């Protein structure tokens, strides 16, 4: 019997807990790089002829100098509040779509269908969790105020206050500004991510047939490689999305018109390189983030399955 056939489907509770813990660890480790990425994407530096856009190290140093090191964790509350449902939905929907697309006779899902399952998981998490969370996170990260000065009051005090203020001033739909771009970004991310991860994991098992489970460092390395693929393929989408979500909507202007206006302005004022602003910290954030997610997810999932198996064995022995 094959290794895949021997394993039972992972339960939703296991996906929820393992995914939530994995996501929380990713956020705590990688939030500073995400803040730097957002500031770079929103920056207008480099517009003046003869000047270059500020790099990610210089951007990080500027944030620390002006706003204290804690400013690198702006928006963390919004991320943590959404990370558990995000990861639960990502893994649960991927496994569900993967099962639906599997061959009815063999139970095996082809490479192309794994990619489609990843696309579906990305769209699902984007619509249900990611877009509202990112609108709030970006508004918090975009505030350039010093956390060391109690008299310098920001517009949004925290994630909860940001949600309240955005909905009150701009309507509930503001939380879904840029949802099409977010869904497109998440779909391409997870399509590439899950496909690469599944294939690399299969290759690792093939090269080490004596192993029932891969060690954590291999899950981390595979996650690192698979996680780096998405950012390079959809950087322009992510940059336009960030600027769209940061700005307030103009009356009478459709979402498509806003996207076109932002893209056109970036092209005219800052050139093609502006579409790739923040790519370095994004790759440095997403790739290690996926390494942490997959390593922690696999470890927690195995531990929970082991505990569940022990509990069932004890029940049967009574």
Q: Render pLDDT for 39-78 as a digit per residue (tens, 0 to 9).
A: 888 887 777 777 778 888 899 999 999 999 999 998 888 7
Convert the pLDDT of each residue in 236-286 to its tens digit.
888 898 888 887 777 777 878 888 999 999 899 888 888 888 888 788 878
Q: What is the mean pLDDT of the chain?
A: 84
| Residue-level pLDDT at 315 | 42
Convert the pLDDT of each residue in 134-168 to its tens digit.
898 888 888 876 666 666 778 888 888 999 999 99
Does 25 score more than 60 pLDDT? Answer: yes
Report the SS3 class of residue 47. coil
Tokens of 198: 């599944």
Q: What span, in angstroms and rounded, lies between the C-alpha atoms of 130 and 152?
A: 30
Q: 């400013």: which residue's tokens?
A: 71
| Count of C-beta atoms within a 10 Å radius of residue 48 | 8
Question: Do 243 and 41 touch, CB atoms closer than 8 A?
Answer: yes
Q: Mean pLDDT, to the nearest integer, of 208-214?
A: 89
Does 6 score more than 60 pLDDT? Answer: no
Q: Mean pLDDT, to the nearest integer, of 176-203?
A: 91
| Residue-level pLDDT at 150 | 62
What angle do the packed helices 229-246 and 179-207 form, to 10 degrees? 160
Instruction: Name the DSSP letter for residue 156.
Output: -
Does 313 score more than 60 pLDDT? Answer: no
Higher pLDDT among residues 23 and 151, named by residue: 23
| Residue-level pLDDT at 148 | 64
Tokens of 144: 């350039």
Does 3 score more than 70 pLDDT? Answer: no
| Residue-level pLDDT at 10 | 59
Does 317 score more than 50 pLDDT? Answer: no
Confidence of residue 8 (pLDDT cuts 50, 70, 90): low
Higher pLDDT among residues 126 and 314, named by residue: 126
Q: What span, in angstroms and rounded, lies between the C-alpha atoms of 16 and 31?
A: 21
Question: Do 63 and 148 touch, CB atoms closer than 8 A?
Answer: no
Q: What is the pTM of this model?
A: 0.71
Convert the pLDDT of each residue in 99-134 to its tens digit.
899 998 888 999 999 999 999 999 999 999 999 988
Question: Do 259 and 243 touch, CB atoms closer than 8 A?
Answer: no
Q: What span, in angstroms and rounded, lies between the C-alpha atoms of 96 and 196?
A: 18
């Amino acid at each position: 019997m094959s290794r895949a056939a021997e394993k039972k489907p992972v339960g939703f509770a296991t996906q929820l807990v393992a995914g939530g813990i994995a996501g929380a660890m990713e956020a705590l480790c990688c939030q500073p790089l995400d803040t730097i990425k957002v500031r770079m994407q929103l920056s207008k530096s480099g517009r003046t002829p003869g000047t270059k856009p500020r790099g990610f190290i210089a951007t990080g140093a500027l944030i620390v100098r002006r706003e204290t090191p804690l400013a690198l964790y702006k928006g963390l509350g919004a991320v943590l509040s959404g990370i558990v449902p995000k990861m639960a939905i990502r893994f649960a929907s991927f496994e569900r779509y993967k099962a639906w697309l599997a061959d009815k006779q063999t139970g095996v899902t082809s490479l192309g269908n794994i990619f489609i399952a990843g696309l579906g998981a990305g769209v699902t998490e984007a619509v249900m969790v990611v877009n509202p969370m990112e609108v709030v996170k970006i508004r918090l990260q975009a505030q350039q105020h010093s956390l060391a000065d109690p008299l310098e009051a920001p517009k949004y005090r925290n994630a909860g206050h940001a949600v309240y203020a955005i909905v009150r001033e701009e309507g509930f739909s503001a939380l879904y500004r840029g949802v099409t771009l977010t869904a497109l970004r998440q779909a391409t991310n997870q399509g590439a991510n899950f496909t690469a991860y599944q294939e690399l994991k299969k290759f690792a098992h093939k090269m080490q047939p004596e192993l029932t489970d891969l060690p954590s460092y291999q899950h981390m390395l595979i996650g690192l490689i698979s996680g780096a693929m998405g950012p390079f393929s959809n950087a322009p989408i992510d940059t336009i999305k960030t600027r769209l979500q940061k700005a307030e909507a103009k009356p009478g202007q459709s979402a498509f018109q806003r996207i076109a206006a932002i893209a056109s302005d970036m092209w005219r004022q800052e050139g093609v390189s502006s579409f790739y602003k923040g790519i370095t910290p994004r790759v440095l954030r997403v790739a290690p983030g996926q390494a942490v997610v997959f390593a922690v997810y696999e470890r927690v999932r195995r531990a929970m399955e082991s505990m569940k198996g022990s509990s069932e064995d004890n029940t049967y022995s009574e």
